[in-house]
Structure 1
Amino acid sequence: MKTFRILASVGSALSLCALFGCQSKPADKIVAQVGAEKIYQSDVDFLKRASRSFAEPGQEKAALENIIEARMIYQEAKKLVGEENPNIQQTMVNLQDRFLMRAFDEFYVSQNLCHTDAALQEYFDKNKALFAKDSCNRLSDCRENVAMQLYLKENSGTLQGYTKRLLDAQTISKVELAYVVSADTALVNKAFADLDSRKVPLADIQGLKRETLLSNSREGVMAVDSVREILFGKDSLAVGEVRLIQGPSTSVALKVLLRRAPDVLPEEGRDSVIAERFVMEFKNLMAGHSGDSLLQARYKYRLEPIRYPEVQKYYDAHAAEFNGAPLDSVTLEIESKISGGKDLPLDSNYVLATIDGKPFVTEKDVRGLYLELPERLRPQYPRRRRVQMISTWKLKALAARDAGLDKTDLFNKLQLMAKMSFYRKAFSDSLAKNGFFTPEDSLKTVFAKYGAAIFPNATLEQVSGDMGVFAQTPDKAFLYEYYREQDKLPKTENLDSIKVLVYKGAAAGFARSWFERFRREAFKKHPVSVIDKFYLPREDLFSTEDLQARADSMYANRNLSGAWLTWERIKDLSVDEEDSLYARSILELAKLDAERGKFVESEKEYAAFLAMWPESPFAEKAMFARGFQLRENLKKDTAALAVLTQFMEKYPKSDLRESVEWLIKDIQSGGKLSEELNRKISEQE
């Protein structure tokens, strides 16, 4: 394949024009601005490439809003942790090979089929008519199709051979066969009886072989004409059938285990199907072990054995393990122990892998990865496995550099995306340390009042993040969490006691809610201007009115998960605002959870709503829904009876009274009423 040749000689076969682009580049226009920071069309295009959630047409506005928010948080993070944070800078340096590996795997191979962006742009510019029918005005509109067409053009000869093999395969059937062939007639007769009885496991039949046979084969048992005819002839055996064939010198007992029909390609669009398979096989090849092997061969990669001095050191230090066995007899065992060991010491400069005879992976690299791994995972990554992981990263990084990827705008954007994620993480960590911007005096007051009850023996410095979230969480959020879990918690009406009871279990949700409100304030604080009219009008991501409309639209289209997530956001955003919207969000979550089959969560939400807003105009239906769920979905008859009885007392004139009375009687009858009703319905059907 030509692409394999390109990869094999990467760095020499690719011209400077292919690497850096000698043709004029399309203008990269500014589409928006966050403060003084500009966002370009290429930023939107990159996010659509990097994140499948934004890849589909119509997601451009959502992609831009994601970028705007990321830049806002980035700006806030730099204020908090430093414009050029040294820890993040060092992390960026340490992870260069992994960034390059992603650029190589995800963009260069998977999307571009081993072509640079510049090469694709050049091919697109020269062949725009080829892509016009797909409404492809820019390379970014149909990048993968452009890559595919260029790849097919470069590998047209190989594609012809591939096509012939696929078409030939349409005439080839497959049979999975269990058989015994032997000159020993008694052995074959016994095998036939065992196969025919269906009682003897195949593994217990002496001399039995299992094999997948092709109809065009003439080897092995298929060299026997009668076997070939009985398997693939006009009256061939069906699956499960058993046959005994006796020849002049040998006999065969066989059973058909499975048949596979030929892979017949559709007549309509056949060429497109073959082309897509051809490309997909290349992607799979490059993504798997074969792709790694190609790079290993290209760069003359070698895993180095553990050298004799290290073996001698281990032998001397662990002599008791070997019961006096001479070193030569246990050398391989010791090499295996050192390669597989996670803690066995080697010098930090010890070379574990080379390329072209030069050091490539050292013990220092492997030790660094070990320390990077979470402690619980370290036992799963012995030295040899870590060497292989690092080797893969570094080989692909080397190939990426040879292809010039490290000098591209794409790689710069990939690094910026990673850098912003590290700043976001550092921002989150710093928030915990500074108490989520809670004034120090307030932190001390809250800690003095609640700290010992929630976090015994902890200092304020150790729990400042929690105390900050605690201090900034509105009272009704605590009440909501308490009433959700009221069946499990001690009964109390004291707000301070409620806060202490629920905080630990709800802390993650409270922190998420705080961050949602922080994002809302950040959007107010940072001036955003959208310059490209294509991205207008902007959607207000924090308008609860717009969010309600979006949730209703999702519900109408039966996107229940999307509607639930949107109402959860509304709940977080309204917790410090008007009470009625917060109440409605909880009610909507209860309804949606019921429709999603999450009845336990739904019942808790209904319970909280009824406890917090017992006189709401929606309380009547909420109480009925809760009682019904307890009875029909959760099978908690005692609790259901209590709720339904309360309903009858509170709403004696309700339109739902008759249904509630029936449910109460059914519970009291032990379910006999519902059984009788179901029987009658079944008879009518």
Structure 2
Amino acid sequence: MKKALLAFFSFCTLFFTGCNSIGDKDTLVARVNGEPIFKEDYAFMMRVGNIVPNTEAMRKASGSLFSRKALYTVALQKNPEFKDQLAAHSAAMENYLLTFIYQRLYAMDRLMYSDDELAFFYDKHRDQFPDSLSYMNLRDKIADAKYIESNMDSLKAYAYQHRNLADSSSEVKITDEIKERFVSDYRQRIVREMGPALMKKYNIQEVAIEMPTVENYYAKHKDLYMTPYSYVVYHVESSDSAALAKRFNGKKVDLKKFMKIASKYSENKETKKAKGFVGKVAYGHALPYGIGFVQRMFFELDSLTDGSVSSIIRSESTNRFHVFYRVSAVPMEPKPLDRVRRAIEHELATTANYELDSSYVLVTKNGEPAIREKDVLATYEDNPSMLRSRRAHDQIVKALALQLAFASEAREVGLDRSWEYRALRRQSDVDYVISLYRKKVLTNIAVPEDSLKALYARMGNPAHPNMEYEESRPELSDWFVIPENLMKRTYYYAEDDFLPETYEQAKKRVFESAYLVFRSGRWDKEVVSSWGTAKVDLFADNITLLPQESSPELAMRAADSLYTQAKSVEKAYLAWNGIRERYVEIDSVAKKATFELAHVYSDKEEFDKAQREYRAFYRTWPDSPDAEKAMFSRGFILNENLHKDDEALQVFEEFKKRYPKSELNESVDWLVQNIKSNGKLADDLMKKIEAEE
């Protein structure tokens, strides 16, 4: 029931009746909070989703249409600032939407015929198409048939070209397979040839990006061409760490004395001649003279001062031991331009990112600016996970140029005035506003700023330890407001994963799992409540709506009905799980839902989940009248279904201590005795029953 209390419809006569198989799709069929829903919205939904009327898929899609429209209106009402953002987004999306309409629904779907042309052909050739499907479900097949009828000579030539050469018959056979391949080849040709042709038709050209000179790029990015951080060092090498310890441990050694030790005792023949002098060594690089890679040396040198001696360090590559003397640190500095010129030239020609002003013109149409750098930046903003690179930039520019070409052609043939474009724009607006609203709901800050800062100073981000304060504010806020029942239930459901830590000790780890569930439920509550409180006006007699969920009590009655009357265990699970998530702040509701979910898991024979839910229930709500039932049920499942007798005995022992006067104690005693007898009591009982029968 999580998203099931939505709109369900009957579409026997709603679509496309009469000689004109399209009908008036701008007919208003409903309003949700004053926002219109048109017949064309259904037609578009059917075509894009290939949804057949009078099916479960259609009912679900229709319900989604109504509920999302309700959510859209609520989002705009609560957040008036979204209107300006929507206007800007809608303008930026125009070329993209027109491109979709042209490519998918005009060129590929309709093969560039008008709806009127296809409708006329459909009415004239009804006998060729199944009566059970609507025009919208058949439109691409109708376009195929019309294209074939209009190009019979080409089809015959195609059939001859693709004839079976092993067939000695002179007759050219036009089979259904040949027809399908003929139209398929045409569609592929449209995809392959149309983009470049439209770019040429509308004189749309990408502007070559002028890269900076090597000198200018170097001046701006010297930090990319720095020498590595280095140290000037001496060393003493030995295969015997004890010998080195004897000479250095606890002794104060200056450079003069270090050089003396190196020249006398070092086992590195090359540096021994130079009294241990190694020279300048770059951070993270292997050392010369056969010393090899000594990673720990760099860590120690970082903490030492000039004139200091390291501890005894083993080389990872030679397994020999060293003591190093730090003479001085050599800071990083820019490499000379002449040294890096070739590398910069290569980067500018291949991989260096563009650094353009937002007004920089990237694409022209008839010589006039059409696409600028700001349009690429907007694409990045809409796709925050996209890596900003030169390759990505080039791909975005090409895509925007192609969209401009297709959108120009779409306007030329009037698709910007089509019912499909109107429906797509409405859908796009709804999707965008809902995405804004969802982000705002999920990252809602419900706690004063000083409290957030104090919490961050004390413990950092409770879910992401390395995250800075500004990014951490939503998680910090959730820490303060997340219900205790959700935190405890999360811990006790997966207690084995958190032990030996207690609930209090594991709280941060528990939060890492629980806060995402909390946010999901918070969003689900917005979705359901917006539909539950929506004002719906219907203008078609054959549209019916299921009851809207206006309260948790109504939701629980419906869920209980699914479980006890309809006997739909899977639907009951979805219903109770949704109720628990979205009404988690109401402790009594969360408690009831958890108890019911434990029963549902047991009925589904998901016994491990059932015993976990029972445990979570009686640990989270130990004072509930149902706690003893939950504990008994868990012990029974551990014994009977999971065959974990040791755990079952522990549960039953705890039960006896906690509920000494329970009516279930007699059953508990029998189960304990049966476990301790290795099942002999149960076997004897079964034999007795069989004998009596």
Gaps of at least 5 residues in structure 2 are 1-19, 220-335, 656-664, 680-693
Structure 1's 430 and 166: CA in aligned 2 closer, same or farther, altered over 3 A? same
2:34 to 28, 33, 36: 36
Q: What code does the residue aligned with 2:522 have? A: W
Matched, 1:148 2:137: no
Structure 1's 62 and 406: CA in aligned 2 closer, same or farther, altered over 3 A? same
Matched, 1:292 2:304: no
Matched, 1:502 2:510: yes
Q: What code does the residue aligned with 1:30 have? A: L
Residue equivalent to 2:417: 407
Alignment of 1:152-231 (within 5 A): 152-168=148-164
Residue equivalent to 1:134: 131
CA positional deviation for 1:54: 8.1
Structure 1's 117 and 160: CA in aligned 2 closer, same or farther, altered over 3 A? same
Distance in 2, matches of 1:663 and 1:108, equals 76
Residue equivalent to 1:218: none
Distance in 1, matches of 2:189 and 2:639, equals 58
Distance in 1, matches of 2:603 and 2:201, equals 56
1:59 to 46, 49, 57: 57
Distance in 2, matches of 1:55 and 1:590, equals 35
**Alignment TM-score, normalising by the size of structure 1:** 0.60
Q: Which has the larger radius of gyration?
A: 2
The answer (yes or no) to whether the contact 2:360–2:373 under 8 Å persists in 1 is: yes
Distance in 1, matches of 2:178 and 2:559, equals 46
2:407 to 397, 401, 404: 397
Alignment of 1:115-130 (within 5 A): 115-124=113-122, 126-127=123-124, 129-130=126-127
Worse overlay, 616-625 or 87-96: 616-625
State the SS of the aligned residue for 1:32. strand
Distance in 2, matches of 1:355 and 1:277, equals 36
2:524 to 516, 537, 542: 516
Distance in 2, matches of 1:504 and 1:515, equals 18
CA positional deviation for 1:133: 4.1
Deviations 1:277-311 (A, max 9, x none): 44444444545x555344445445555556xxx46
Distance in 2, matches of 1:502 and 1:324, equals 52
State the SS of the aligned residue for 1:420. helix
Residue equivalent to 2:597: 586
The answer (yes or no) to whether the contact 1:481–1:502 under 8 Å persists in 2 is: yes
State the SS of the aligned residue for 1:134. coil
CA positional deviation for 1:618: 5.8
Report how many residues are paired. 518
Gaps of at least 5 residues in structure 1 are 1-21, 173-266, 632-639, 666-685
Distance in 2, matches of 1:419 and 1:170, equals 57
Residue equivalent to 2:179: 275
Deviations 1:430-485 (A, max 9, x none): 446764xx6x79x9999989996675899999777557756765543333212123
The answer (yes or no) to whether the contact 2:28–2:38 under 8 Å persists in 1 is: yes
Distance in 1, matches of 2:548 and 2:378, equals 45
Distance in 2, matches of 1:492 and 1:68, equals 47
The answer (yes or no) to whether the contact 1:571–1:585 under 8 Å persists in 2 is: no
Distance in 2, matches of 1:513 and 1:44, equals 29
Alignment of 1:257-656 (within 5 A): 271-287=175-191, 289-296=192-199, 298-299=201-202, 302-303=205-206, 305=208, 310=210, 313-314=213-214, 337-338=347-348, 340-341=350-351, 343-345=353-355, 352-353=362-363, 361-366=371-376, 368-370=378-380, 373-374=383-384, 377-379=387-389, 381-431=391-441, 435=445, 455=461, 474-489=483-498, 502-538=510-546, 540=548, 543-547=555-559, 565-573=574-582, 575=584, 576=586, 577-578=588-589, 581-587=592-598, 590-591=601-602, 604-605=612-613, 607-609=615-617, 611-612=619-620, 615=627, 617=629, 619-626=631-638, 640=644, 642-646=646-650, 649=653, 653=667
The answer (yes or no) to whether the contact 1:112–1:143 under 8 Å persists in 2 is: yes
State the SS of the aligned residue for 2:426. helix
Distance in 2, matches of 1:609 and 1:382, equals 51
The answer (yes or no) to whether the contact 2:359–2:374 under 8 Å persists in 1 is: yes
Distance in 1, matches of 2:107 and 2:376, equals 27
Residue equivalent to 1:670: none
Structure 1's 625 and 59: CA in aligned 2 closer, same or farther, altered over 3 A? same
The answer (yes or no) to whether the contact 1:574–1:582 under 8 Å persists in 2 is: no
Distance in 2, matches of 1:497 and 1:447, equals 22
State the SS of the aligned residue for 1:377. coil
Deviations 1:85-112 (A, max 9, x none): 2222212222222222222233223433
Distance in 2, matches of 1:652 and 1:54, equals 59
Deviations 1:117-154 (A, max 9, x none): 44434444x43634674234x53353333333333333
Distance in 1, matches of 2:82 and 2:510, equals 39
1:92 to 82, 90, 93: 90
Higher helix proportion (structure 1 or 2):
1
Structure 1's 361 and 444: CA in aligned 2 closer, same or farther, altered over 3 A? closer
The answer (yes or no) to whether the contact 1:28–1:41 under 8 Å persists in 2 is: yes
State the SS of the aligned residue for 1:31. strand
The answer (yes or no) to whether the contact 1:590–1:601 under 8 Å persists in 2 is: yes
CA positional deviation for 1:582: 0.5
Structure 1's 434 and 368: CA in aligned 2 closer, same or farther, altered over 3 A? closer
The answer (yes or no) to whether the contact 1:339–1:383 under 8 Å persists in 2 is: no
Distance in 2, matches of 1:275 and 1:95, equals 37
Deviations 1:487-508 (A, max 9, x none): 34477998x8887663343112
Structure 1's 46 and 373: CA in aligned 2 closer, same or farther, altered over 3 A? closer
State the SS of the aligned residue for 1:95. helix
Residue equivalent to 1:201: none
**Alignment TM-score, normalising by the size of structure 2:** 0.60
State the SS of the aligned residue for 2:37. strand
Structure 1's 646 and 318: CA in aligned 2 closer, same or farther, altered over 3 A? closer
CA positional deviation for 1:428: 3.2
Q: Percent sequence identity over matched residues?
A: 18
The answer (yes or no) to whether the contact 2:25–2:38 under 8 Å persists in 1 is: no
State the SS of the aligned residue for 2:111. coil
Q: What code does the residue aligned with 1:160 have? A: K
CA positional deviation for 1:510: 0.9
Structure 1's 592 and 46: CA in aligned 2 closer, same or farther, altered over 3 A? farther
The answer (yes or no) to whether the contact 1:473–1:514 under 8 Å persists in 2 is: no
Deviations 1:202-241 (A, max 9, x none): xxxxxxxxxxxxxxxxxxxxxxxxxxxxxxxxxxxxxxxx
CA positional deviation for 1:393: 2.4
State the SS of the aligned residue for 1:142. helix
Structure 1's 548 and 47: CA in aligned 2 closer, same or farther, altered over 3 A? farther
The answer (yes or no) to whether the contact 2:30–2:36 under 8 Å persists in 1 is: yes
1:80 to 54, 78, 81: 78
CA positional deviation for 1:157: 3.2
CA positional deviation for 1:356: 6.2
The answer (yes or no) to whether the contact 1:432–1:464 under 8 Å persists in 2 is: no
Distance in 1, matches of 2:517 and 2:63, equals 24
